[in-house]
Amino acid sequence: MTLEELEAFGMSLGRLAADALPCVITLAGDLGTGKTALTRAIGRGFGVIEPVTSPTFALVHEYHTPVARRLFHLDLYRLKGPHELANLGWESISGERALVIIEWPDRAGHLVSADALSITLAHVGGDDSRRRVTW
């Protein structure tokens, strides 16, 4: 997908998620494959007005839509292991009727629910403007 296609895909997904809560989407893929770009587009489709930014330092950001739907965006890149999730309030986040998007879900081990929508992004050799997106 081009960035434009990825954004259109994300917006559609976000619109669908708004009527399918609670919903967990995991985004796997190497650095720079577009996980945060896709999260931003999903957030826009979901109804979040403010731009979704990378939560690398906070590990989790919470957003609200004008109709009070909630989006939690987690970036677990710096997570040392599943035990650290407790400090993020994972227990309460996973119990919410919210949309939860998780970058680097492998860091959380089995704690991410098995019925999450798992999306994988990958670089395309020789073309930095495209990504392979599978789910």
Ligand X SMILES: Nc1ncnc2c1ncn2[C@@H]1O[C@H](COP(=O)(O)OP(=O)(O)OP(=O)(O)O)[C@@H](O)[C@H]1O
Q: Judged by CB, which is closer to ligand X: 34, or 45? A: 34
Q: Select from Mg ion, ligand X, none the partner in contact with residue 31, using the beta carbon and a kind-dependent cut-off of 5 to 8 Å.
A: ligand X
Residues 71-110 vs ligand X: string with x where CB under 6 A? --------------------------------x-------
- Backbone φ and ψ for 24, nearest 5 degrees, come out as -120, 125
- Pairing outcome for strands 60-64 and 70-75: antiparallel
Q: Please classify residue 50 by burial: count the beta carbons closer than 10 Å to its beta carbon, then call 0-12 exposed, 13-18 middle and 19+ buried.
A: exposed
Strands (E), 46-116: 60-64, 70-75, 99-103
Q: How far is the CB of 74 from ligand X (least distance, A)?
A: 11
Helix (H) / strand (E) element for 119: namely strand 117-124
45 interface partner picked from Mg ion, ligand X, none, CB below 5 to 8 A per type? none
Binders in 27-66 for ligand X, by CB under 6 A: 29, 31-37, 54
CB of 19 to ligand X, least distance (A): 26
Nearer to Mg ion, 54 or 118 (CB): 54
- In whole angstroms, how close is the CB of 66 to ligand X at the nearest point? 25
Closest CA to 43 of 15, 22, 77, 85: 15
